[in-house]
Amino acid sequence: GFIIVVTGILVGAVFATGSANLLSSFTGVETHILLVIIFAYFLIATLLPVDKIIGKIYPIFGIVFLIMAIVMISALLMNPHYTIPEFTTPGLYLTTKSIFPFLFVTIACGAISGFHSSQSPIVARCMENEKDMRLVFYGAMVVEGILALIWAAIAMAFFHGQPQLAVIYGATPAVGVNEIATTLVGPIGLVLTIIGVVICPITTGDTALRAARITVADGFKLDQKTLMSRLKIALPLFIISFGLTFIDFSLIWRYMAWAQLFIAVAVLLAATVYLIENKKHFIITFAPAIVCLVIAIAYILQAPEGLRLDSFVSNLISVIITAIFSVYFIFKYRKPSKDLNEA
């Protein structure tokens, strides 16, 4: 629960900052003023029932986001000036940091996002039929994976490989998206950019802070029936999240990605326990949990914002800790049954 609250606060800060920076470049309005406006919306959307604001606008912007990706990749493929480069090793490293775990943290942030699991209770409560859950949750995961591949291809083709990507390294991701969209499809790209990388992230931030509020309320068994009772919990969370917007964006982004990994580990392990108790094939959730745990531990041990240990030492420590935990976990939860791999 604590990790979900922390991640919700970080997600709110990250997506508000990225959206405010891009809007500021469009309008000339000071970033801090836009941040106040965005957080005011966050507060309203977090306090009101999910069907009042979020439930009405999410489907619309979700469709627009899909259209944006299709338009972008189509414009890229039809433009002879751009070609998607093949995978090559020369110029692969933009920094002196090792690929493991730094690149894997970035990949895992999208491939197995722990933050999205915090939204499951909210989405589940909005569904009328339990049979639709496979389509909604699994389908959303597949679609998001396709979108990630599309944007990765677009970025590599548009910036002509790693050296050019290094130019925008450290900036907010919205800056690169804006340049791509406006160059490829002109004024239409500007509109798509505003919707895709401004409005959609904002609507992600509100659900993140809503999840944080609900988690705190559930953890301390606090009543949430009245608007004032919700405000008492939400206000401190919002103050902390708003304060984080004054810290370096790239630093907060990395902490958010790392926190998401730990949530993913916790959720996958909880699912593993469920599968074990029901005598199912638990390896399908246990294996990715272990991989994510190795990455998360190795990252915080050697990252600049962590303990800054040597990469070999930190990777070795993470493997040892994960191995010990894995053995303990298996022995602890496999005791009730002799053969829990029977489906």
Query: In three state form, how does the secondary structure of 187-233 look?
Result: HHHHHHHHHHHHHHHHHHHHHHHHHHHHHHHHHCCCCCCCHHHHHHH
The answer to whether position 282 is within a domain reads: yes
Calculate mean pLDDT across residues 167-176.
61
pLDDT of residue 67: 86
Residues 271 and 209 placed together within one structural domain of the fold: no
> Is pLDDT at 98 greater than 80 in this prediction?
no
Structure tokens at 115: 């933050």
Calculate mean pLDDT across residues 128-137.
86
Residues 157 and 295 placed together within one structural domain of the fold: no
pLDDT digits (tens, 9 = 90+) for 272-303: 999 999 999 999 999 999 999 999 999 999 99
Nearest to 193 by CA among 77, 67, 75, 82: 67
The answer to whether position 96 is within a domain reads: no
Say which residue, 236 or 174, is predicted with more confidence.
236
The answer to whether position 178 is within a domain reads: yes
pLDDT of residue 88: 60
The answer to whether position 93 is within a domain reads: no
Calculate mean pLDDT across residues 82-86.
77
Query: At residue 54, what is the residue type?
Result: I
Residues 169 and 80 placed together within one structural domain of the fold: yes
341 pLDDT band (50/70/90 cuts)? very low
The answer to whether position 104 is within a domain reads: no
137 pLDDT band (50/70/90 cuts)? confident
Residues 300 and 168 placed together within one structural domain of the fold: no
pLDDT of residue 338: 47
Residue at which a domain ends, from 246, 270, 296: 246
The answer to whether position 97 is within a domain reads: no
Lowest-pLDDT range of 175-189, 204-218, 297-311: 175-189
Structure tokens at 150: 């599309």
Residue at which a domain ends, from 217, 246, 275: 246
Residues 284 and 340 placed together within one structural domain of the fold: yes
The answer to whether position 299 is within a domain reads: yes
Residues 129 and 62 placed together within one structural domain of the fold: yes
Say which residue, 329 or 115, is predicted with more confidence.
329
Beta carbons within 8 Å of 263's beta carbon, 6+ residues apart: 3, 4, 7, 114, 115, 117, 118
Residues 49 and 31 placed together within one structural domain of the fold: yes
Residues 162 and 173 placed together within one structural domain of the fold: yes
> Is pLDDT at 169 greater than 70 in this prediction?
no
Residues 212 and 262 placed together within one structural domain of the fold: no
**Structure pTM?**
0.81
Calculate mean pLDDT across residues 321-342.
77
pLDDT of residue 275: 94
Q: Note down the domain range covering 236.
A: 2-85+119-246
Nearest to 210 by CA among 227, 229, 228, 233: 233
The percentage of residues in the chain with a pLDDT greater than 90, rounded to a whole number, is 32
Nearest to 11 by CA among 112, 118, 148, 103: 118
SS3 content of the chain, % helix, strand, coil (to 5): 75, 0, 25
Residues 300 and 333 placed together within one structural domain of the fold: yes
The answer to whether position 185 is within a domain reads: yes
Residues 147 and 270 placed together within one structural domain of the fold: no
Report the number of distinct structural domains present in the chain. 2
Rounded mean pLDDT of the chain?
Answer: 84
Cα 13 to Cα 259: distance, rounded to the nearest angstrom: 14
Say which residue, 84 or 244, is predicted with more confidence.
244
pLDDT of residue 163: 61
Residue at which a domain ends, from 246, 276, 301: 246
Structure tokens at 131: 């049979």
Residues 228 and 315 placed together within one structural domain of the fold: no
Nearest to 18 by CA among 193, 180, 189, 198: 198
The percentage of residues in the chain with a pLDDT greater than 70, rounded to a whole number, is 88
343 pLDDT band (50/70/90 cuts)? very low
